[in-house]
Amino acid sequence: MANLLEVKQLTKKFGGITAVDRIDFSLEEGEVVAVIGPNGAGKTTLFNMISCFIPPTSGEVIYKGERLTGRKIFELAHLGISRTFQNLQIFNNMTVLENVMMGVHVKLKTNVFSAGFRLPTVKKNEEIAYQLALDVLEMVELKDFMYKKAGNLSYGLQKQLEFARAIVYHPQLILLDEPMAGLNDAETNRMAGYIKELKKKGCSFLFVEHKMATVMELADRIIVMDFGKKIAEGTPHEIARNEKVISAYLGEEAF
């Protein structure tokens, strides 16, 4: 299988502090890769560099053979990449349906001129957005809530909504920042089921997560960070028996 994503010597320094130190790894098409590590290990900083939210001090990210580093955030959707956030990024005063349709519009070609004059392309794009939104809402079991304000949903349903918006335009690579955080066991199992279903359809995932049982269930490979460095990489079976990883997690219920 071909490498979809390559992270090469990625480094981020904040003043005299090195938050991420020369991280290397790759992700193949159709693969699920997890990034784990204790709090303060540099996981979110790594994630933010990969998704172009902050520039690296050095190193680069390659996506489909092209340099991703230096791109604008809004370009990611057009490249086939989506992302969720640890802190929910939904529009509370919009309906569930409107939130998901917003995720479609990043891929459509409606501009200010055509929208202002309600050209035929606008109506066609709205129909496409509506149908795609309906399809994904049904997949993540939110269709019954489609006309409710997003801010009135429970936290678990809001997490499902953010996931729905991230996948609605059929991205090839989906970046998930702690998708299970704050979810109960039933909600966690549902979210894991959605990821498995999309993997069967060819989607690739890179995710940061603290719930180790879920990581072990979903990940094909695991990257382990500690103090900004990669200390281990391997299959769940290999990582669970790695002495460096066990030491880094000492005192935590990691496995």
Question: For residue range 88-132, what is the model confidence (pLDDT) as tens digits?
Answer: 889 999 999 999 998 776 655 544 334 444 445 656 767 888 989
Using the predicted structure, report yes or no on whether residue 251 has a pLDDT greater than 70. Answer: no
CA dihedral 246, 180, 219, 140 (to 10 degrees): 170
Q: Are strands 229-234 and 58-63 parallel, antiparallel or unpaired?
A: unpaired
Q: For residue 232, what are the β-bridge partners? A: 224
pLDDT mean over 208-224: 95
Q: Which fold has domain 1-80+172-255?
A: Rossmann fold (3.40.50)
Mean pLDDT of the chain, nearest integer? 89
| Structure-block tokens of residue 19 | 């938050």
Nearest to 27 by CA among 176, 154, 149: 176
pLDDT mean over 25-54: 95
Q: Are strands 3-14 and 17-28 parallel, antiparallel or unpaired?
A: antiparallel
Distance CA 29, CA 42 (A): 25
Domains 1-80+172-255 and 83-170 are alike in CATH topology: yes
- Could you tell me the residue ranges of all domains in the chain? 1-80+172-255, 83-170
The structural architecture, per CATH, of the domain 83-170 is: 3-Layer(aba) Sandwich (3.40)
pLDDT in tens, 52-88: 999 999 999 999 999 999 898 888 988 999 999 877 8
pTM for the whole structure: 0.87
Percent of the chain whose pLDDT exceeds 90: 75
